[in-house]
Structure 1
Amino acid sequence: MTDPLAEVVGLLQPGARFSKVVAGAGDWRVRRADAGLPFYVVVLEGACRLTVDGQPPLDLQAGDFALVPASLPFTTSSAGPAAANLPLTLPERLADGSYRVGNADGPVDVRLLVGHCSFGSPDAALLVSLLPQLMHVRGEPRLTALVRLLIDETGAERPARDEVLARLLEVLLIEALRCAAGTAASPGLVRGLADVRLAAALRRLHEAPAQAWTVASLAREAALSRSAFFERFNRAVGVAPMSYLLAWRMALARRLLRDESLGVADVAERVGYSSASTFSVAFTRHVGQPPARYARSA
C-alpha cells in the first residue's frame, strides 16, 4: 500500500543544515523572522515556549519535539507568559561550542537542541504546503531515541557524517509526521491521514495519481457524500481535494522531468493528463515555464 507521508518526505530530500545545543537560565526571548529554513526544537530538559506567527503559543516540556516545516517567523522564550514582554536577545556562543540565553551566571533551567534542516527538492515549497505549519510531538520514546542519535552524530567527526545526518533527519521527519498524525495538528496531510475516512481517499489518490479522479469518486473511496467529503477534506488538509491532487501531480511531473528519460507526452500520461498539450498548459501555469524547458534546465 502506498504511504503518502513517505512519498512526500522522499520527494522533499531533507538534509541536516545546522543544529546546536542551547542552555537557558531565567527569563529570555529569541525571535527568528528571516531564517528562511525549516526549524525544529527538542526540549532535552526543562521547559520553554514556542510561538509561531499565526499560531497560539505552544508550551514545550522535556522530551517534546516541534517542527516548523515552512519558513515562518517564530519566537522561542522561557516558559510562561511573562516572557512575552521581554526584550529580544540572541544566544551567546560559549567556548565549548554550545550556546546560552538568559541569565549568563544563573543555574540552567532548560536545555534545547535547536536546528535548521534543508529540503533539497525544487518542489520544496509546494510539498511543504501539504504539511502542517506546526507539528508538536510529546511522549514518544522512539522519537527521543532518534534525537539522541542525531545529537551524537552532530558532535562527532566520523566518516560519512553528513550522509548519516541526512538519513537520520529523514527518519526523524517521517517519525515526527507519523506521531503527529495522532495529535491535533494544524491543517495538512498529517491531519488528513489521521481521519480514517480521508486517509482511505488520500492513499488511493497516491496509489493512482493518473486516475481520472473527481471529488465524487474520491468521496466514494472515503464512504462519504460528495459535500461532506469536500468540507471535511478542506477543513483537515487545508486545501480543496482537486487542489491537492493538482499539487501532487505537479510534484510528480517535476520529478519525472528531472530524473527520467521521458518525453513530455509520457510524463503527461503518468500524471493523469489525456494529452501533452493539456499537461503543458497546466504545468506552465503551475510552475511558470513549459515542461520541455523545465526538463532542459533541470
Structure 2
Amino acid sequence: MTDPLADIVTLLQPDAAYSKLVSAGGRWRVQRSLDGMPFYCVLLEGSCRLEMNGAAPITLQADDFVLVPELHDFATSSLEPPESDEVISTPVALGPGRFHVGQEGVPSDVQFLVGHCNFGSPDAELLLSLLPNVVLVRGERRLSTLVKLVREESREQRPARDVVLARLLEVLLIEALRSTNATASTAGLVRGLADPRLSVALRQMHESPQKPWTVVQLATAAALSRSAFFERFNRIVGVAPMEYLLSWRMALAKNMLRQKGEGVAQVAERVGYGSASAFSVAFTRHVGLPPTQYASADSGSRAA
C-alpha cells in the first residue's frame, strides 16, 4: 500500500543547501534569523540549549535530532549562556564547513551539526503545512548516521553527488518524521498516520486518488461514523477530509503536468476527474492558472 509520508517527502524535492559542523566551549550564544527555511540540528557530543521561533528553549543531549520544516529565528547556547542575551558569540572558521564558538582557551565540550535544505516543489507551502511544526527525536543513532553521511557527501566532489545528497535527505526526512512522537505533534499528516483509524483512510486516498471518494466511504474505511470521522480528521490532520484529498490531487496533478509526459485529459483521469473540463475548472480555481497554461509557464521557467 502507498506510504503517504514517503509521497509527501518525495514531492517536496529536498536538496542540500548548507550544513556546518560546530564545536563550542565555555559560555556562548549564537543567534540567527532565517526566511522560513527548513532547519535541522543533530547534537553529536555534549549538551546545549536551542530556542526556535520564539518558543521556550529546549535542552539537547548527544544524539538528539531536531527538524523544523519552517524556521524563522533560532538561538543556540551553552547550558549556562552569557549573562546577557545581547552577547552574541562570533563563530570562528576552522576549515571548510567547520566552525568554533565560545570562550577563548576553553576546551570544546559540545559538537553539533546544523544545516538547512531547500524544497524544490512549488507546493512546498502546502506540503509543509501537513508536517509538524517541530520534530524532536531522541536516542535514534540512525539519524546521526544519516546526517554524518549528508555532511561527508556535501564536502566531497564525487560523481553523482547531487543525486546522492537528494536521496540521503529524503531518507533523513522520512526517518525523522516517522521517529517522532506523533501524539505530541501539532495537527498534520504525521499525527494522522499515527492514528490507526485515520491512517487507513489516508493511505487509501494516496493509493487511489482517482477514485470518487466521499466522506461516507472514507469513514467506512476508517470504521467510524461519518460525523466522528469528519471531526477526528479535522482535529488530528488539521483540515477537512475532502480538502485534504483536493490538495493532494492538485499536488499530484501539478507534478504530472511538470513532467510533460501526459496530456490534460490523462492527468484529469489519474487524479479522479471524469472529464478534462471538470478538472480544468477545479485546477484553475485551486492554482490560479488553467492546466495548459500552468504546464507551459513551468516549462518556460525551467528553460530560463
TM-score over 0.5 (shorter chain) = yes
**CA distance in structure 1 between the aligned counterparts of 2:75 and 2:262, rounded to whole angstroms:** 47
Deviation at 1:61, TM superposition (A): 1.3
After superposition, where does 1:143-154 map in structure 2 within 5 Å?
A: 143-154=143-154
Partner of 1:96: 95
Q: Report matched runs for 1:88-127 at 5 Å.
A: 89=88, 91-97=90-96, 98-127=98-127
Partner Cα separation in structure 1 for residue 173 and residue 83 of structure 2: 29
Is 1:232–2:229 an aligned residue pair? no
Could you tell which deviates more after superposition, 72-81 or 7-16?
A: 72-81
Q: 1:77 to 1:156 in 2, by over 3 A?
A: same
Measured after TM superposition, the shift of residue 103 of structure 1 is: 2.3
For 2:17, the aligned partner's letter is R
Q: Deviations over 1:72-102 (max 9, x none)?
A: 3131322558679512636523232312233
The aligned counterpart of 1:188 is 188
1:171 paired residue number = 171
Equivalence for 1:141: 141
Q: Is the 8 A contact 1:28 1:86 kept in 2?
A: no
- Aligned amino acid, residue 171 of structure 2: V
Write out per-residue CA displacement over residues 79-134 of structure 1, whole angstroms, 9 at most, x where no aligned residue: 55867951263652323231223324323232110011111222222211221121
Deviation of the 1:56 alpha carbon: 4.3
Match of 1:206 in 2: 206
What's the CA shift for 1:182? 5.1
More displaced, 105-114 or 80-89?
80-89
Per-residue CA shift, 1:208-254, capped at 9, x if unaligned? 11222222221111111222222222222222222211111110010
**Are 1:60 and 2:60 an aligned pair?**
yes
Distance 1:61 1:211, change over 3 A: same
Native 8 Å contact 1:40 1:67 kept in 2 = yes
What are the equivalent positions in structure 2 for 1:1-298 lying under 5 Å apart? 1-53=1-53, 55-70=55-70, 72-78=71-77, 80=79, 86-87=85-86, 89=88, 91-97=90-96, 98-180=98-180, 184-298=184-298
User: Which stretch shows the higher mean deviation, 196-205 or 215-224?
Assistant: 215-224
Where structure 2 has 5 or more consecutive residues not aligned to the other structure, the ranges are 299-304
Preserved contact between residue 201 and residue 219 of structure 1 (Cα < 8 Å): yes
Shift of 1:294: 0.4
Query: Aligned to 1:73, what secondary structure does the other structure show?
Result: strand
Amino acid at match of 2:67: L
What are structure 1's unaligned runs of at least 5 residues?
none
Q: Distance in 2 between matches of 1:84 and 1:216?
A: 59
The superposition leaves residues 23-52 of structure 1 with CA deviations (integer Å, 9 ceiling, x where unpaired) of 223343333333442111111111223333
Where 1:178 maps in the other structure, the secondary structure is helix
Report the more deviating stretch, 154-163 or 226-235. 154-163
Deviation string, structure 1 residues 248-268 (Cα, Å, up to 9, x no partner):
111001011111432222222
- Per-residue CA deviation, residues 172-206 of structure 1 (Å, 9 max, x unaligned), is 11111221265622221111111111111110111
- CA contact 2:187–2:236 (8 Å) conserved in 1: yes
Identity of aligned residues (%): 59
Q: Is the 8 A contact 1:27 1:77 kept in 2?
A: no
Count of residue correspondences: 297
TM-score normalised over the length of structure 1? 0.90
SS of the residue 1:32 aligns to? strand
CA-based RMSD of the aligned residues comes to 2.3
State the distance in 2 between where 1:108 and 1:230 align.
53
Deviation at 1:156, TM superposition (A): 3.2
After superposition, the Cα gap between the structure-2 partners of 1:274 and 1:27, relative to the gap in structure 1 and judged at 3 Å, is farther
Q: Secondary structure at the match of 1:34?
A: strand
- In structure 2, give the amino acid aligned to 1:175: E
